[in-house]
């Protein structure tokens, strides 16, 4: 049985630069510590506009490198059921790491 953690981060500023700074300053150390002994870490992030895509992907990719062999991915969205299904899939998808997946809210 795999060990995994799902970590929601909801307290990010709306500005991409401020959000990236906040994420790195307040969360990266804790995420790396949490990754120790885990097979998979899934970070849940709130939706943001396209200006946040680059820093989020770079952060998750670098976390995946630093935490290896722990797999690190992120899910962006607010649909709890969609997030849970995607996290379940990620936890079983051997080799999938360093990705940011966006869940569309059901209409």
Beta strands in 11-106 (DSSP E): 40-45, 71-76, 100-102
How far apart CA 40 and CA 4 sit, in angstroms, is 5
pTM for the structure as a whole: 0.95
Which pLDDT score, from 0 to 100, does residue 1 have?
52
Domain ranges of the chain: 4-102
Which residues are CB-contacts of 69 (< 8 A; sequence separation ≥ 6)? none
Q: What phi, psi does 42 have (nearest 5°)?
A: -115, 120
| Chain segment 54-103, per-residue pLDDT in tens | 999 999 999 999 999 999 999 999 999 999 999 999 999 999 999 999 99
């Amino acid at each position: 049985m795999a060990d995994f953690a799902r970590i929601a981060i909801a307290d990010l500023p709306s500005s991409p630069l401020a959000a990236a700074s906040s994420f790195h300053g307040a969360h990266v150390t804790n995420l790396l510590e949490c990754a120790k002994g885990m097979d998979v870490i899934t970070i849940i992030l709130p939706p943001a506009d396209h200006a946040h895509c680059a820093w989020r992907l770079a952060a998750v990719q670098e976390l995946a490198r630093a935490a290896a062999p722990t797999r690190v991915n992120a899910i962006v969205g607010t649909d709890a059921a969609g997030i849970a299904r995607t996290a379940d899939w990620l936890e079983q998808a051997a080799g999938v790491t360093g990705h940011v997946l966006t869940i569309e809210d059901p209409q």
